[in-house]
Amino acid sequence: MSATAVNLKTPVTGDFTLNTGLFINNEFVRGAEGKTFEVINPTTEEVICSVHEATEKDVDIAVQAARKAFEGPWSKVTPQERGMLLLKLADLAEKNADLLAAVESLDNGKSITMARGDVGAVIGCLRYYGGWADKIEGKTIDINPDMFHYTRSEPIGVCGQIIPWNFPLLMFAWKIGPALATGNTVVLKTAEQTPLSALAFAPLIKEAGFPPGVLNVITGFGKVAGAAISSHMDIDKVAFTGSTAVGRTIMKAAAGSNLKKVTLELGGKSPNIVFNDADIEEAINWVNFGIYYNHGQCCCAGSRIYVQEGIYDKFIAAFKARAEQNKVGDPFNEETFQGPQVSQLQFDRIMGYVKSGKDEGATVVTGGDRLGDKGYFIKPTIFADVRQDMKIMQEEIFGPVAAIAKFKDADEVIKLGNDSNYGLAAAVHTKDLNTAIRVSNALRAGTVWVNCYNALHHQLPFGGYKESGIGRELGEAALANYTQNKSVAIKLN
């Protein structure tokens, strides 16, 4: 067993070994300063293990490895071979799916069934971008008979990627898929709350056959390793998913250092709109899924629920009954829908919002308390009669807290829906095609779902309007985040 490995156990895997070092140059190494930090199990509040902490020095070492790979072996790998490597990585993820899902549940607290779903999406995403690797094309542009002009779509170089804790493995795949497909090298930092699934994944990178230094995975804190990435002078691009506040910091650091390219996927306060003519049972299922999926810890959570006045009372009663059926508890129970929130800090933040909703006079329909006295569990909570100016209607809560308000007609709800600094997602529930199309066109959001929610696919671009982000992840659109155009003009004899 290597010096940085520990023995762990989950109810579905039994005992296994996890390497807790920094994965640089295809090897697990100790942090340069020998620091480690504890990883907490959100279900029990107990320490799972300690992992190595990357400092500025480690970021430097990882960047040097990524630079060397970019200029050396990785530049000689053909696009088709890059694609094959991603496909191999996806196959290995599939082979190790049970372990990856179990580590995700243990560390993040999401239910094992949802963790399996995440791993399935990881595999799909890697395959999708594996398919793109040899389809990155330039153009020839006819300007003048004495010249030959063409463009090339070239990789940006060394990419820093900083990911959050709500979908640790899935965000990892969303980030590395397009970056590697287009020929970049990567230094990726996981979130300090949830470093374990990426550590379980890292050995597969070597096993798949990626040259050393192409994909480096480091564990550490935002203010130390994250800040070192965003201000590094030899990182060409930084991609970040997380809070809008940290997104601003990263953009400033990029601007203040080497003007590295920046893409951001940030917060949201997405409106979920239910019209009188919606199929109410279906709508309630989607509203429930929209807010409580992943314990409300989704940047695109449908957290502002606007219900048309004709069905308002009926909707609230039925939604209460639906929310109370969500099984909250041990993530390793196959029946569980909602596990604990990820950390004490998040738990406290959410409970602070619940208190503010009560203080500001919103009606608690259900929930409003923690569940049990161990683990960061919060009951699915519904606030009704929420005014637009209340904090719980304005700010991202990132927890299982729904805020509901009544509206009269489409014009009013479009105004309410757009009354936010965010613009990540939105949804409309109606049987009327005109309403569906008119309202979705009018909503200022990067994704609009009609008669569904959280319908994310790796083929479909995802990203924010307004303060919800810059750039698009997923789909062909994400390739643009990781390529730059070169125009070549050749004078003919």
* Residues known to be catalytic: 265
Binder to ligand ADP among 83, 109, 130, 242 (CB under 6 A)? 242
Two tokens, residue 94 = 């599939």
Stretch of residues binding ligand ADP (CB under 6 A), selected from 245-253, 359-367, 440-448, 485-493 = 245-253
Stretch of residues binding ligand ADP (CB under 6 A), selected from 21-29, 186-194, 382-390, 483-491 = 186-194
Two tokens, residue 196 = 């374990």
- In angstroms, what is the minimal distance from the CB of 8 to ligand ADP? 22
| Helix/strand/coil for 325 | helix
Q: Where are the beta strands (DSSP E) in 321-479?
A: 363-366, 381-384, 401-407, 422-423, 425-429, 447-450, 465-466, 469-470
Cβ proximity to ligand ADP, 192 vs 330, nearer residue? 192
- In angstroms, what is the minimal distance from the CB of 210 to ligand ADP? 22
Residue 42 in contact with ligand ADP, rule: CB under 6 A: no
Two tokens, residue 421 = 């600094």
Residue 189 in contact with ligand ADP, rule: CB under 6 A: yes
Two tokens, residue 236 = 């060409």
Stretch of residues binding ligand ADP (CB under 6 A), selected from 34-42, 51-59, 238-246, 299-307 = 238-246
The bridge status of strand 381-384 relative to strand 425-429 is unpaired
Q: What is the DSSP letter of 22?
A: E
Residue 192 in contact with ligand ADP, rule: CB under 6 A: yes
Cβ proximity to ligand ADP, 185 vs 346, nearer residue? 346
Stretch of residues binding ligand ADP (CB under 6 A), selected from 32-40, 157-165, 298-306, 477-485 = 157-165
CA-to-CA distance for 152 and 139, rounded, in angstroms?
7
- In angstroms, what is the minimal distance from the CB of 241 to ligand ADP? 7
* Those residues with Cβ within 8 angstroms of residue 445's Cβ, 6 or more apart along the chain or in another chain: 270, 271, 423, 424, 425, 426, 464, 465, 468
Cβ proximity to ligand ADP, 104 vs 192, nearer residue? 192
CA-to-CA distance for 422 and 417, rounded, in angstroms?
10
- Tokens 């995403």 correspond to 125
Per-residue b or e along 412-435, where b marks 16 or more CB atoms closer than 10 Å to that residue's CB: ebbebbbebebbbbbbbbbeeeeb
- In angstroms, what is the minimal distance from the CB of 100 to ligand ADP? 19
Sign of the CA dihedral with 322 first, then 325, 329, and 332 last? negative
- In angstroms, what is the minimal distance from the CB of 431 to ligand ADP? 37
Residue 243 in contact with ligand ADP, rule: CB under 6 A: yes
- In angstroms, what is the minimal distance from the CB of 159 to ligand ADP? 14
What's the N-to-C CA distance of the chain in angstroms?
A: 65
Which residues 358-417 are close enough to bind ligand ADP by CB under 6 A? Answer: none
Which residues 198-227 are close enough to bind ligand ADP by CB under 6 A? Answer: 221-223, 226-227
Q: What is the Cα gyration radius of the chain?
A: 23
CA-to-CA distance for 213 and 471, rounded, in angstroms?
26
- In angstroms, what is the minimal distance from the CB of 150 to ligand ADP? 38
Cβ proximity to ligand ADP, 230 vs 338, nearer residue? 230
Cβ proximity to ligand ADP, 64 vs 243, nearer residue? 243
Cβ proximity to ligand ADP, 227 vs 235, nearer residue? 227
Which residues 78-117 are close enough to bind ligand ADP by CB under 6 A? Answer: none
Stretch of residues binding ligand ADP (CB under 6 A), selected from 19-27, 149-157, 162-170, 315-323 = 162-170
CA-to-CA distance for 257 and 242, rounded, in angstroms?
21
Cβ proximity to ligand ADP, 37 vs 332, nearer residue? 37
Task: Give which of 60, 175, 79 is closest to 126, Cα–Cα.
Answer: 175
Binder to ligand ADP among 18, 39, 191, 200 (CB under 6 A)? 191
Cβ proximity to ligand ADP, 250 vs 273, nearer residue? 250
Binder to ligand ADP among 42, 83, 164, 399 (CB under 6 A)? 164
Residues 398/404/408/409 CA torsion (nearest 10 deg): 30
Binder to ligand ADP among 25, 249, 430, 447 (CB under 6 A)? 249
Cβ proximity to ligand ADP, 122 vs 413, nearer residue? 122
The residues with which 150 forms a beta bridge, in sequence order, are 140, 488
CA-to-CA distance for 464 and 299, rounded, in angstroms?
10
The residues with which 155 forms a beta bridge, in sequence order, are 483
Residue 194 in contact with ligand ADP, rule: CB under 6 A: no
Stretch of residues binding ligand ADP (CB under 6 A), selected from 54-62, 151-159, 160-168, 322-330 = 160-168
- In angstroms, what is the minimal distance from the CB of 215 to ligand ADP? 17
- In angstroms, what is the minimal distance from the CB of 346 to ligand ADP? 7
Task: Give which of 218, 197, 177, 231 is closest to 103, Cα–Cα.
Answer: 197
Interaction site with ligand ADP (CB under 6 A): 162-164, 189, 191-192, 221-223, 226-227, 230, 242-243, 246, 249-250
